[in-house]
């Protein structure tokens, strides 16, 4: 298994939503991560909150980024205090359908990201 980190980076403009930036993986030519983080099933993922004064809380959503009920096995993280990283580590599981895990911040619903499960 591998261990991956997703940085929660403040928006470029004041009031803009934070973005989720996968670490150690290359962006698309336009500098974005259209498929989010790539991870195999069983990999561990954490979110690293680099915002100095805002907590964040990634929660699973449907493909339209509407939060889903969270059974314990599907939990992504607890609330992440400013400047800290997530807890617990999220162990990537195959989604019930498709190969993408969608998520948003429960505290800032406009902030969303995804994990593409590769095997």
Partner 1 sequence: MTVRDTRLRDCDMHPSASPHVPEPRWIAAACLVAGAIALCPATAHAQAAPWKPQSPQYIQCPAPGQPLIQIPEIIAQAGKPAGKLRGTILLNNGVQRLYLGANDPTQCLPQDVRQFSGWLSYNDGSGTKAVLPAYPGAIPPGYPGYVPPNPPPPSGVLDPVPGPTLRARVGDLVQLTFLNQIGTGPYWDSIDRGEKGQGCDESTGGQRYPGLDVFPDCFHGSSTGNIHFHGTHTNPSSTGDNVLVEVRPQLRDKGKLIPDPVVVPAFEKFFASCERQLNKNVLSQWPYTWNDLQQDWVNDQLALLKRYDANPNIVNKLLPIDLAQRAAGAWPQYYIGSYPYCFRIPDYAGRNWPPGAARVPSHVQTQQARALQMGQSPGTHWYHAHKHGSTTINVANGMTGAFIIEGGYDDMLNDFYGAGWTGPQPWARSQPVLVVNQLGVSPNLFGGGLGGGAPFSINGRLQPMLTMQPGQVQLWRIANTSSRGSVFLTGFGPAGSTAPAPTQTFVWQQIAQDGVQFTGGNYENSKSPKLTISPGGRADLLVQAPTETGQYILYAAQVRSHCETLDASPTIPTVAPPPPQPQKPPLPPYPTPICAVQTATPFLLVNVTGTAATGNQALFIPPATVQAAFPPFLADIADSEIRGTKILAFESAPTGGNPGAAHSIDGHQFDGNVGEVVLLNNVEEWQVVNKTVNGGLKTINGNPKVVTTDPPGVVDHPFHIHINPFQISEVFDPNEVLPGTTTYKYIFEGQPVTGQCLLDITKPDTWKPCSNPPSTTGRIWWDVFPIPSARAVFLANNTRVVVVPGYFKMRSRFVDYTGQYVLHCHILAHEDRGMMTIVEVVPLTTAYSHQ
Pattern 86-105, binding to partner 1, x per CB under 8 A? xxxxxx-x-----xx-----
What number of CA atoms fall less than 13 Å from residue 64's CA on the CB side? 1
Using the CB atoms, write b or e for 75-89: b if 16+ within 10 Å.
ebbebbeeeebbeee
Rounded Cα–Cα distance for residues 11 and 4 (Å):
22
Token pair 């991560």 is found at 33
* 16 lies in the binding site for partner 1 (CB under 8 A): no
Contact call for residue 32 and partner 1 (CB under 8 A): no
Tell me which stretch binds partner 1 (CB under 8 A): 10-18, 48-56, 61-69, 101-109: 48-56
Beta bridge partners of 8: 20, 49
Interaction between residue 61 and partner 1 (CB under 8 A): no
Chain centroid to CA 59: 8
Residue 9 contacts partner 1 per CB under 8 A: no
Query: Using CB under 8 A as the criterion, which residues of the chain lie in contact with partner 1 when the complex forms?
Result: 1-5, 7, 23-26, 28, 35, 38-46, 48, 50, 52, 72-76, 81, 84-91, 93, 99-100, 116, 118-119
């Amino acid at each position: 298994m591998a261990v991956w980190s997703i940085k929660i980076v403040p928006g470029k403009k004041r009031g803009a939503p934070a973005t989720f930036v996968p670490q150690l993986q290359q962006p698309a030519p336009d500098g974005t991560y259209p498929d989010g983080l790539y991870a195999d099933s069983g990999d561990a993922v954490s979110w690293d909150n680099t915002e100095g004064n805002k907590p964040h809380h990634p929660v699973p959503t449907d493909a339209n980024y509407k939060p889903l009920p969270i059974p314990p096995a599907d939990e992504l993280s607890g609330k992440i205090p400013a400047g800290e990283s997530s807890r617990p580590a999220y162990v990537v599981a195959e989604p019930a359908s498709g190969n993408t895990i969608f998520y948003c911040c429960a505290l800032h619903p406009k902030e969303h990201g995804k994990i593409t499960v590769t095997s």
